[in-house]
């Protein structure tokens, strides 16, 4: 206790400075007045574990892959290697790699229910032999994709060339292959079906000087996406989460009432490990909103609920994990409840930190950082758009209060980020004495919404709990215009090793670095 002051001074000295965010690039930028098609709106975004690949999914059921290019420019020359000792302030660059149609619209005839093709989540799996593997899901069906470069082979150096072929027969180009003659059941050969009658072509007048074998050559490579597994018919309700296990063999899928455990190689069987469905649906008080595996412990996972709680479970305890190991929730003060209290308390997304020690959760108004070793309350609370609290009635009327914002953490665990309205997103520092609370806009000039930094966050009872407010305003943007609730940043992802963010703004993908 006597050294507490010295420790606080030391931690304050080591507190990182606020980052200066810069625009890197944009894909699918909208022009002024351009109408956005519903199917083009991005609905999922995810970096792979190396940060060299980025995947996005949209409401049209497509998955688009991007590949990083700036770290592949230099070779093994001495000059290039010497430059790595003095790195330039070069922003990460990605290029379009490929895209494929992951899901199609379907119709459940048994329930008379349309199943839209919108991609809800994308998760990268372990790579193997130069191939990329990823999971994608819509409301009902999960698919396991393999994306690999394949060489296009062509048959060249044919004996019969178009320049020497005469008569009425077909012209065979050097790059076309000739299929063998079709054989009949008795071992004969159908000359008519093969099209090789004596009237089809004639031998050139100068004869055939020599015969040579055709040559198979590889010209260019093309990316091929192939669906290896389809995991279907396991969820009665809409799938809201998928998460890979650290063992590389299993993953979970979660809907409103159940969480299922799958093996990647077995698509016709899953195990129900969490079931919160009551015997009488009238007794239903909460639903599952998000689920995530622990990054290193393959037996642990966490899931959040619509009542604002997060449950940590250990699959070693029982086959059906109907009891949690730990429960994380905020105890509301008595008398402070209103009609909107439970609605805005619903957790829309949770993410484990890379070290597995902390969990980040996002509800409608705040970000909360939890220590899994301390279930008495969050260690930090970040207020995202507190100025909207007086407008909750309007947000309820236009259904904006049900928007599901995602959240993300930096690879070093020092910062967190989430989205808001009017194409605004927030970055908060979560080290003990950090006052970083940056408001940025998804444009080519992200820092134009900057306001003076808030005062040092308040503390209570000497604990490490922090309440940090974002920049306060009266509900207007930097230009004095009222907030646009149709321009919402729901989806974003943080690069696993660098301070780089990918932000989905409607149909546009913005990349920022610091």
Domain ranges of the chain: 19-149+231-513
The torsion angles phi and psi of 33, rounded to 5 degrees, stand at 80, 0
Measured distance CA(119)–CA(56) in Å, rounded: 9
Break the chain down into helix, strand, coil percent, rounded to 5.
10, 40, 50
* Matching residue, tokens 């949690």: 324
**Hey, what are 476's tokens?**
């207007």
**Most distant CA pair in the chain, distance:** 107
- 283 three-class SS: helix
Q: Is 449 helix (H, G, I), strand (E, B) or coil?
A: helix
**pLDDT of 500 over the 90 cut:** yes
Measured distance CA(45)–CA(66) in Å, rounded: 11
What pLDDT, on a 0 to 100 scale, did the predictor assign at position 25?
Answer: 96
pLDDT attached to residue 468: 58
Length of the chain: 514
**Residue 259: closest CA among 229, 225, 302:** 302
Six token digits for residue 167:
């008569």
Q: According to the model, what pLDDT value does residue 462 have?
A: 33
Around 411, how many Cα atoms within 13 Å sit in the side-chain half-sphere?
13
**447: Cα separation from own chain's centroid:** 25
Distance CA 347, CA 309 (A): 7
- Which among 69-83, 180-194, 352-366, 426-440 has the top mean pLDDT? 352-366
Question: Quick one: how far is CA 464 from the chain centroid?
Answer: 31
Q: Give the count of beta carbons closer than 10 Å to the beta carbon of residue 75.
A: 8
β-pair partners for 25: 511
Token pair, residue 264, equals: 């990647």
| Cβ-contact 406, 362 below 8 angstroms | yes
d(CA 455, CA 462): 18
- What pLDDT does residue 71 have? 77
Least confident of 260-274, 283-297, 333-347, 462-476: 462-476
Domain 19-149+231-513 belongs in CATH node 3.90.1150.10: no
- In angstroms, rounded to a whole number, what is the distance separating the alpha carbons of residues 467 and 470? 10
pLDDT of residue 446: 85
Whether pTM exceeds 0.75: yes
Average pLDDT over the chain reads: 83
- What's the whole-number mean pLDDT along residues 1-25? 62
User: What are residue 324's DSSP bridge partners?
Assistant: none
Reported in sequence order, the residue ranges of 434-499 that DSSP labels E, i.e. its strands, are: 437-441, 466-469, 491-494
| Residue reference for tokens 């001495």 | 78
- Asked if pLDDT for residue 156 goes beyond 90, the answer is no
Contact in structure between 349 and 362 (CB atoms under 8 Å):
yes
The count of other CB atoms within 10 Å of the CB of residue 379 is 17
Percent of the chain with pLDDT over 90: 61
pLDDT in tens, 298-320: 999 999 999 999 999 999 998 88
User: What is the mean pLDDT of the segment spanning 47-73?
Assistant: 93
């Amino acid at each position: 206790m006597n050294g507490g002051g010295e420790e606080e001074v030391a931690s304050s000295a080591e507190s990182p400075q606020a980052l200066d965010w810069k625009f890197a690039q944009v894909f699918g930028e909208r022009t002024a007045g351009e109408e956005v098609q519903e199917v083009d709106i991005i609905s999922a975004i995810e970096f792979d574990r190396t940060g060299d690949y980025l995947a996005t999914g949209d409401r049209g059921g497509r998955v688009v892959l991007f590949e990083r290019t700036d770290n592949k420019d230099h070779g093994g020359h001495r000059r290039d290697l010497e430059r790595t000792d003095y790195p330039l302030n070069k922003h990460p660059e990605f290029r379009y790699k490929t895209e494929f149609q992951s899901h199609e619209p379907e119709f459940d005839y048994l329930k008379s229910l349309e199943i839209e093709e919108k991609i809800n989540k994308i998760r990268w799996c372990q790579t193997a032999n130069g191939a990329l593997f990823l999971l994608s899901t819509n409301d009902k069906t999960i698919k396991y994709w393999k994306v690999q470069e394949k060489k296009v082979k062509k048959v060249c150096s044919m004996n019969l060339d178009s320049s020497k072929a005469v008569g009425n027969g077909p012209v065979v180009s050097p790059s076309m292959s000739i299929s063998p003659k079709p054989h009949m059941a008795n071992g004969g050969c159908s000359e008519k079906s093969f099209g090789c009658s004596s009237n089809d072509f004639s031998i050139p007048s100068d004869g055939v000087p020599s015969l040579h074998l055709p040559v198979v050559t590889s010209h260019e490579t093309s990316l091929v996406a192939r669906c290896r597994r389809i995991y279907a018919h396991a969820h009665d309700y809409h799938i809201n989460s998928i998460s890979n296990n650290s063992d590389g063999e299993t993953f979970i899928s979660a809907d409103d009432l159940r969480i299922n455990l799958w093996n990647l190689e077995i698509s016709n069987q899953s195990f129900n490990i969490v079931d919160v469905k009551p015997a009488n649906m009238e007794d239903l008080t909460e639903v599952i909103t998000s689920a995530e595996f622990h990054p290193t412990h393959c037996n642990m996972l966490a899931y959040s609920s619509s009542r604002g709680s997060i449950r940590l479970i250990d699959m070693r305890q029982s086959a059906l994990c109907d009891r949690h190991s730990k429960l994380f929730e905020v105890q509301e003060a008595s008398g402070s409840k209103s009609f909107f209290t439970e609605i805005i308390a619903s957790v829309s997304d949770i993410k484990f930190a890379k070290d597995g020690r902390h969990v980040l959760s996002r509800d409608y108004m705040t970000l909360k950082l939890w220590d899994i070793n301390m279930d008495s309350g969050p260690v930090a609370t970040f207020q995202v758009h507190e100025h909207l609290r007086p407008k909750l009635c309007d947000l309820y009327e236009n259904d904006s209060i049900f928007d599901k914002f995602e959240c993300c953490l930096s690879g070093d665990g020092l910062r967190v980020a989430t989205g808001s309205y009017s194409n605004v997103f927030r970055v908060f520092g979560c080290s003990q004495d950090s006052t970083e609370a940056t408001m940025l806009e998804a444009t080519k000039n992200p820092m134009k919404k900057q306001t003076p930094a808030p005062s040092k966050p308040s503390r209570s009872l000497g604990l490490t709990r922090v309440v940090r407010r974002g920049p306060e305003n009266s509900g207007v943007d930097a230009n004095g215009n009222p907030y646009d609730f149709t321009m919402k940043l729901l989806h974003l992802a943080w690069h696993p090793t660098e301070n780089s963010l990918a932000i989905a703004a409607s149909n546009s993908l913005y990349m920022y670095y610091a």
